[in-house]
């Protein structure tokens, strides 16, 4: 049957998951098509300014996810989730790579 067949039989037709098992079967990164759709949904809901602000995170020296979230009236955690879906990596990792790249080019 499947990986969770025994639990499905025990609970009827509703699968029963422990919280950590659900994360193991969910996709972690969005596909290219889903990223494009996610970007379009953000643009429709918040406007093109939000996407421009995400791109500006790397050029503004003292601008971070908390500032972006405050400007667009959602939580910093939601800004982090949006960033991960748009760029496929964590904010800190990309920010440190961009800073190192900028330092190399200016030296």
Helix axes 91-106, 76-87, angle to 10 degrees: 70
Q: What is the mean pLDDT of each run of 10 residues along the chain (107 residues)?
A: 50 51 50 83 91 87 91 94 88 84 82
Residues 46 and 94 reside in one and the same domain: yes
Q: Is residue 15 domain-shared with residue 64, that is, in the same domain?
A: no
Statement to judge: residues 54 and 8 lie in one domain:
no
Could you tell me if 85 and 41 lie in one domain?
A: yes
The pLDDT of residue 71 is 94
- 102 and 87 in a single domain? The answer is yes
Q: Tell me: do 50 and 99 sit in the same domain.
A: yes
Per the structure, the count of domains in the chain is 2
With contact defined as beta carbons under 8 Å apart, do 54 and 44 qualify?
no
Residue 4 structural domain = 1-29
Q: Is the domain of 15 the same as that of 35?
A: no
Of the chain, the end-to-end C-alpha distance in Å amounts to: 60
């Amino acid at each position: 049957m499947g990986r969770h067949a025994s639990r499905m039989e025990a609970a009827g037709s509703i699968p029963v998951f422990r919280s950590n098992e659900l994360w193991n079967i969910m996709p972690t990164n969005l596909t290219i098509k889903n990223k494009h759709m996610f970007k379009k949904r953000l643009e429709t809901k918040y406007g093109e300014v939000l996407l421009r602000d995400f791109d500006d995170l790397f050029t503004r020296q003292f601008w971070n996810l908390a500032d972006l979230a405050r400007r667009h009236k959602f939580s910093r955690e939601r800004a982090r989730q949006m960033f991960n879906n748009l760029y496929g990596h964590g904010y800190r990792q990309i920010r440190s790579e961009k800073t190192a790249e900028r330092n190399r080019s200016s030296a």
